[in-house]
Amino acid sequence: MRAVGLSGGVGPWRLVEPPGPTDPDLPILELAEAGDIKGALKGFRADAGVTYVKLLALPDPAMTEEFFDGILRKTPAGSPRRTSGSSAWTLRDTLRSYDGYARDNVAWGGDWDIDPDHLEVPTWLWFGDLDRMVPPSHGRWFADIPNSTLVPRTGKGPRKHSRPMLSLEKATRPEQVEAFFQRFPGRSVVVMPKLDGLSLALVYENGQLARAITRGDGTTGDDVTPLVRALADGLPTRVDAPGRVEVRGEAVMLRSTFVAYNANHPDKPLINPRNAAAGTLRAKDPASVAERRLQFLAFDLHTDPDGTDSDLDRALQALGFTAAEMQHCDDATAAQAVITTIEQQRNDLDYDLDGAVLRLADRGAFAAAGTRSNSPRGALAYKFAGRRRPP
């Protein structure tokens, strides 16, 4: 990973001319060339008003000004007098995949000296996927920087949730379903399976998946972003929505995946799909779980600003998520019929479940209903009696 400059502007992508004789950034680059990291960093802060990237001195004395200028004047494809700018979302995504490194007491990576959420148009960058970004020889630059390390992240927990991941009010009798509808007269309710996996919160920023956090204790959870990116189906890496999007759902190992995995690994079989899903996303070594696939099924959505469909199911599907199967019901009788059907079919489905969830279909109404101390008012979990697994 290598960052040697920045340019302010608007994103998400642009190509910029390298500095000319009168370019205001040229003195700053000269400071960097001379090894004055602190002076160069201060200059960039003053020039751009916001720190977009950290500046490092060139590690090799043979990299003269002419050498440096020659790089700036060519992209990897050889286009003259232009240097590749990286889109902000690509930079965020790449940097969040590493714990980072530190030099001269300035952190770059996991615990930022800068806020990657405010990156706009970083330019003159060499980092990450070097075979795609720049000639592979440039990848040695990072290794030559003294006292630096680059460690792929397998989790950076714990992380605090933006809003608590609450439990749901429990129900076991039809009259409790009736009471739920009476609290919200005239409101449509969606009924969906209550999945038995590992709850996750996925956060997208300006369209890009930024992090995936387990439920944990409801207030904080573990950052499992790299594992989710690599192993989970049912979620897009980008969403067509501005600002911040948070999607919550359940990561499950499908029964068919579980059976196939155990057939291929009779020496080390998995115990059950639920434990397999949890163990996969808690693995310290991603390579050890590379053959496992998980399915993410979404059941909650929060956007800021909110320009998505008010209906939860439609909004999730429009953003590209595989949602838990939701059926709209206008009264308790219809909802109870769906609950009964889910219970009758539970052994025929490709995922484990232990009940059904009722929730206000309208996202605005759900938010307006508010919360109790430990549960949202606009949702109800109907628990099935006993638990039967298919043979």
Q: What is the DSSP string of 164-192?
A: ------EE-SHHHHHHHHHHSTT--EEEE
390 in any annotated domain: no
Q: Which residue did the predictor score with more confidence, 327 or 90? A: 327
Q: Give CA–CA dist 263/250, Å, rounded.
A: 25
207 and 119 in a single domain? The answer is: no
Closest to 160 in 3D by CA, of 228, 92, 235, 211: 211
Q: What per-residue confidence (pLDDT) applies to 262?
A: 93
pLDDT at position 152 over 50: no
Asked if the model's pLDDT at residue 27 lies above 50, the reply is yes
Residue reference for tokens 């996925």: 202
159 or 77, greater pLDDT: 159
Across-strand partners of 301?
247
Question: 309 falls in which pLDDT band (50, 70, 90)?
Answer: confident
Domain-ending residue, one of 94, 112, 144: 144
pLDDT digits (tens, 9 = 90+) for 318-373: 999 999 899 999 999 999 999 999 999 999 999 999 999 999 999 999 999 999 98
Distance CA 200, CA 235 (A): 12
Q: What is the average pLDDT across 105-130?
A: 31
What pLDDT score was predicted for residue 168?
93
What is the C-alpha separation between 168 and 165, in angstroms, rounded?
10
Q: Are residues 187 and 237 part of one domain? A: yes
Active site residue ranges: 194
User: Does residue 162 lie within any of the structural domains?
Assistant: no
Q: Give the span between the Cα atoms of 247 and 168, in whole angstroms.
A: 17
Q: What pLDDT, on a 0 to 100 scale, did the predictor assign at position 364?
A: 93
Rounded CA-CA distance 102/221 in Å is: 26
Identify any residues that bridge with 123 across adjacent strands, giving them in sequence order: 85
Residues 6+ apart with CB under 8 A from 61: none
Q: Are 335 and 358 in contact (CB under 8 A)?
A: yes
**Distance from C-alpha of 67 to C-alpha of 33, rounded to nearest angstrom:** 11
235 DSSP assignment? -
Q: H-helix or E-strand containing 199?
A: strand 198-205
* 140 inside domain: yes
200: pLDDT strictly greater than 80: yes
Pairing of strands 379-383, 170-171: parallel
Domain assignment present for residue 76? The answer is yes
Residue 210 is predicted with a pLDDT of 84
Whether 137 and 175 map to the same domain: the answer is: no
Q: Mean pLDDT across the stretch 178-190?
A: 96
- Domain count for the chain, please give it: 2
Residues near 24 by beta carbon (within 8 Å), at least 6 away in sequence: 47
CATH of the domain at 367: 3.30.470.30
Given a cut of 70, whether residue 113 has pLDDT beyond it is no
CB count within 10 Å of CB 182 equals 9
The predicted model gives 250-266 an average pLDDT of 94
Are 192 and 326 found together in one domain? yes
Whether residues 222 and 368 fall in one domain: yes
What confidence score (pLDDT) does residue 100 get?
36
Same-domain pairing of 257 and 309: yes
Q: Which of 86, 113, 144 is the last residue of a domain?
A: 144
Q: Which domain holds residue 104?
A: 2-144
Beta strands in 331-372 (DSSP E): 353-360
As given in the structure block, the two tokens for residue 308 are 């998505």
Same domain, 122 and 210: no
Structural domain contains residue 244: yes
Nearest-angstrom CA–CA distance, 141 and 268: 42
Looking at the structure, do residues 307 and 272 belong to the same domain, yes or no?
Answer: yes
Within-domain flag for 158: no
d(CA 189, CA 383): 17
Among the candidates 144, 176, 205, a domain finishes at: 144
Task: Clarify whether residues 38 and 179 are in a common domain.
Answer: no
Minimal CA–CA distance to 283: which of 386, 159, 154, 183?
Answer: 154
Q: Identify whether the C-beta of residue 200 lies closer than 8 Å to the C-beta of residue 155.
A: no
Q: Are 57 and 38 in contact (CB under 8 A)?
A: no
- Does residue 1 register a pLDDT over 60? no
250/357 same-domain check: yes
Q: CA 115 from chain center: how many Å?
A: 16
Report pLDDT for 123: 27
Q: Is residue 161 part of a domain?
A: no
The pair of structure tokens assigned to 192 is 């969906």
> pLDDT value at position 38?
58
Confidence band of 223 (pLDDT split at 50, 70, 90): confident
- Both 91 and 240 in one domain: the answer is no
DSSP 8-class letter at 123: B
Helices of type H across the chain = 26-34, 37-48, 65-72, 88-95, 130-133, 140-144, 174-183, 225-231, 255-264, 273-280, 312-318, 332-345, 363-369
Residue 74, both tokens? 């060519």
Query: Do 324 and 288 belong to one domain?
Result: yes
- Maximum mean pLDDT: which of 31-45, 111-125, 355-369: 355-369
Q: What is the mean pLDDT of the chain?
A: 68
| Residue 35 lies inside a defined structural domain of this protein | yes
Most confident of the following: 4-18, 93-107, 301-315:
301-315
Mean pLDDT of 287-316: 88
Place of tokens 């959505």: 301
